[in-house]
């Protein structure tokens, strides 16, 4: 996940970026944002960390709110997590491949958003 990424399957008027950094062997931190016509329309802070001997994925939008997802599968190239109490998404999956970074957020088969990223150089 570590690196700077740009989404290649965005709407024409938008550009989405993600940036991931390693803080330690038990923590990655990142930021995601979407820009439309030179205006930031979405921003979130993201973090993968070990909490009470379990891995969690934390998403924060602003200083007052954050949502945690329990990671149930994790490796150097991929992780899956869920929070069934969250309205949307309930599930998140990331996978790093030779082509780039792939992510999907979803509830059920009918509600799914995919993110295809390539390295932003």
Q: What is the pLDDT of residue 63?
A: 74
Query: What is the reported pTM?
Result: 0.93
Helix, strand and coil in the chain, % to nearest 5: 0, 65, 35
**What one-character DSSP code corresponds to residue 119?**
E
Local mean pLDDT, 10-residue blocks, the chain (121 residues): 96 96 94 96 96 96 88 95 95 96 90 96 82
Domains and CATH numbers, the chain: 3-119 (2.40.128)
Q: What is the pLDDT of residue 79?
A: 97
Q: What is the pLDDT of residue 48?
A: 97
Answer for the pair 70, 82: CB distance below 8 angstroms, yes or no: yes
**What one-character DSSP code corresponds to residue 112?**
E
Residue 40 CA: distances (Å) to CA of 6, 11, 18, 56, 61: 15, 14, 13, 27, 13
């Amino acid at each position: 996940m570590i690196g700077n990424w740009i989404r290649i399957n965005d709407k024409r008027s938008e550009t989405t970026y993600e940036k991931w950094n390693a803080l330690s062997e038990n923590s990655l931190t990142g930021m995601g944002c979407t820009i439309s016509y030179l205006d930031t329309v979405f921003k979130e802070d993201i973090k993968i960390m070990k909490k009470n001997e379990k891995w969690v994925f934390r998403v924060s939008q602003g200083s007052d709110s954050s949502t945690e997802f329990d990671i149930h599968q994790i490796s150097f190239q991929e992780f899956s997590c869920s929070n069934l109490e969250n309205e949307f998404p309930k599930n998140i999956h990331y996978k790093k491949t030779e082509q780039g970074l792939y992510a999907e957020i979803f509830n059920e088969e009918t509600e799914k958003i995919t993110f295809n990223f390539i390295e932003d150089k």
